[in-house]
Amino acid sequence: MTQSPLLLRRLLRAKDRMDGAPHEEWPVQRLAEVSAVSAAYFAREFKKAFGLPPHRYLLTRRIERATALLRDTDLPITDIALQTGWTSLGTFGRIFRDITGASPGELRSHARSQPQTGEQIPECVARSAQRPDLNIAVLEKRRIKAAGKL
């Protein structure tokens, strides 16, 4: 069964709010209020519409933004963590590594050591190619890696 255009517009409204302010706290209840639906219904329908639960979508956006700031600015990693919505530098570093496979410092060093050849690629295409893969939960990904299956 497909979702109604009205519901999709409401879900997009919440998604746009997360995109516009990924550094803010976005509990499901707040997102549901933006969409004018119940929290459980919002969570279920958001995943159905966009393929990811709202929390994983927000993590993806935060990691994308942090990656861009690490690559393109000289901001300290602590400032980047705070600007992208993390309240703990340790949590930021651990989850960043779990998702990208590198620490924030390693990613910055690697990005700066590479020649700048992507100038002709539109930013939307480059971001899409570099988008973190969060099809499974971070904790599940960590369990699989510990078991040697990833």
What is the rounded distance in angstroms from the CA atom of residue 92 to the CA atom of residue 53? 19
Same domain, 68 and 135: yes
Position 73 scores a pLDDT of: 94
Same domain, 15 and 63: no
Same domain, 23 and 85: no
- Cβ neighbours of residue 56 closer than 8 Å, sequence gap 6 or more: 134, 137
Please tell me the total count of domains within the chain: 2
Instruction: Please tell me which residue, 115 or 134, carries the higher pLDDT value.
Output: 115
Same domain, 15 and 67: no
Same domain, 61 and 120: yes
Same domain, 42 and 62: no
User: Tell me, what CATH number does 65's domain have?
Assistant: 1.10.10.60
What is the rounded distance in angstroms from the CA atom of residue 44 to the CA atom of residue 11? 11
What is the rounded distance in angstroms from the CA atom of residue 12 to the CA atom of residue 18? 10
Cβ atoms of 28 and 39 within 8 Å: the answer is yes
Q: Which two tokens stand for residue 90?
A: 């340790």
Same domain, 109 and 60: yes
Same domain, 44 and 65: no
Same domain, 28 and 71: no
Question: Exposure of 10 by Cβ count < 10 A (0-12 exposed, 13-18 middle, 19+ buried)?
Answer: buried
- Cβ neighbours of residue 46 closer than 8 Å, sequence gap 6 or more: 11, 14, 15, 31, 53, 54, 57
Segments forming the whole domain that contains residue 46:
5-51
Q: Is the pLDDT of residue 118 over 60?
A: no
Same domain, 34 and 62: no
User: pLDDT tens digits, residue range 11-49?
Assistant: 999 999 999 999 999 999 999 999 999 999 999 999 999
Q: What is the CA radius of gyration of the chain?
A: 17
User: pLDDT tens digits, residue range 136-149?
Assistant: 666 777 777 778 76
pTM of the model: 0.74
Same domain, 80 and 101: yes
Position 147 scores a pLDDT of: 83
CA 21 to chain centre: 12
Same domain, 87 and 23: no
> For all residues of the chain together, what is the average pLDDT?
88
